[in-house]
Amino acid sequence: MIFNLYKPVRWTSFDVVKKIRGITHEKKVGHGGTLDPFAEGVLIIGTGKDTKVLSDITDKRKSYLATLTLGKTTNTLDVEGKVTEQVPITNLTSDTVRIILSGFKGKQKQIPPMFSAKKVKGVRLYKLARKNQTIEREPRQINIYNIDFVSLDNDTLTFSVTCSKGTYVRVLGKDIAEALGTVGYLTKLVRTNVGEYTVSDSVTIEQFEKRWIPTEV
């Protein structure tokens, strides 16, 4: 079966997989696209034979609502990291931000962050990053299908984005901040869509557990 769950903040995607495995007692449980622990929103879970279709789901376009704090950045590019740099913010206007955001639309290369689960030579990058090690990473082609301005409040910029598989919105946030003449990191990230699966149709883990009816053998 395929389930559209709402991943809560501070849970890893594997935490959700493990929880659903415990609720359903299915041996085969997987997810259709990782969400960082600080992020929340749509996480597609597959069980049993339907885990085979998860690779197709992972390839679907994904949409996010991102909150970017400007003027400082962290080593993880999100709220969970340590502040590593502070840069003054120039006078920004909504029109200026809209113009900058529009420049990110389309195909482009993106370098995966060190704090990520991506493997290089069999080692996950975050394990090296925790040892203060940085290695060269090959840029990956991504596609930003749509990116829109939502709001600007002092040092906080909110934008929505629809992108391809493999896009790190944390890196996109960093690049946007630099294009605005400063630095930045994500303080909130909500995945609102994975293909046709929407956040309005997702259910919390608590709701899932209450509704789950065990299958009789």
Residues tagged active-site:
36
Instruction: Using alpha carbons, select from 41, 62, 82 the residue that is nearest to residue 172.
Output: 62
Question: Alpha-carbon distance 160 to 63, whole Å?
Answer: 7
Instruction: Using alpha carbons, select from 31, 66, 25, 38 the residue that is nearest to residue 202.
Output: 31
Question: Alpha-carbon distance 48 to 167, whole Å?
Answer: 28
Kindly report the number of other CB atoms within 10 A of residue 133's CB atom: 11
Question: Alpha-carbon distance 126 to 165, whole Å?
Answer: 19
DSSP string, 98-144: HHHHHTT-EEEEEPPPSSSS-EETTEEHHHHHTTT-------EEEEE
What is the 3-state composition of the chain as percent helix, strand, coil, each rounded to the nearest 5? 25, 35, 35
Give the CA dihedral 153, 156, 158, 161, nearest 10 degrees: 150
